[in-house]
């Protein structure tokens, strides 16, 4: 099962996968599969460091292949997620630290908007 999930991630069909989405694809590939099995595979892979869990603000857990750090844009219309190359915030961190007194060790940022396709469809 872990292999099946790994294959899905390698397929790159999406940038960020919810367990549901993974489950659906895995079912297609294997004929059948249980949600909990996908969940467990994902849990293992996360512990291994192969994938990283991200929060896109819609209450579901998403996973992406754990490479370099980057931010995300999510289309409010179709849900498609893209990666924002480079980190917008490394500089900001020290400013936050200065203004709030918190020792800042992480940040979680999601942009919202419309992906090119949906933006085009809207403007018609």
Partner DNA sequence: ATAAATGCAAACGCTTTGCGAGTGC
Partner DNA sequence: GCACTCGCAAAGCGTTTGCATTTAT
Region 11-50 residues binding its own copies, contact defined as CB under 8 A:
none
In whole angstroms, the minimum distance from the beta carbon of 1 to DNA comes to: 3
Residue closer to its own copies, measured from CB, 30 or 109: 109
Nearer to its own copies, 13 or 119 (CB): 119
**Is residue 111 within 8 Å of 105, Cβ to Cβ?**
no
Q: Which does 115 bind (CB under 5 to 8 A by kind): its own copies, DNA, none?
A: its own copies
Q: Work out whether 65 is an interface residue with DNA (CB under 7 A).
A: no
Give the Cα separation of 26 and 67 in Å (integer).
Answer: 23
Please report, for residues 28, 74, 98, 113, the alpha-carbon distance to residue 54 in angstroms, rounded to integers and kept in the order given.
24, 12, 27, 18
The pairing of strands 71-75 and 81-84 is: antiparallel
Within 10 angstroms of residue 57's Cβ, the number of other Cβ atoms is: 11
Where do contacts with its own copies occur on this chain (CB under 8 A)? Answer: 55, 57, 59, 71, 73, 75-76, 82-86, 88-89, 92-93, 95-97, 99-116, 119
């Amino acid at each position: 099962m872990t292999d099946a999930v790994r294959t899905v991630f390698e397929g790159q069909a999406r940038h960020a996968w919810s367990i549901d989405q993974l489950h659906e694809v895995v079912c297609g590939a294997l004929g059948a599969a249980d949600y909990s099995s996908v969940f467990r595979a994902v849990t293992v892979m996360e512990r291994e460091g192969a994938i990283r869990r991200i929060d896109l603000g819609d209450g579901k857990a998403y996973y992406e292949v754990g490479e370099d750090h980057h931010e995300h844009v999510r289309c409010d219309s179709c849900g498609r997620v893209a990666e924002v190359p480079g980190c917008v915030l490394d500089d900001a961190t020290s400013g936050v630290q200065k203004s709030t007194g918190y020792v800042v060790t992480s940040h979680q940022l999601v942009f919202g908007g419309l992906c090119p396709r949906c933006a085009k469809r809207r403007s018609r």
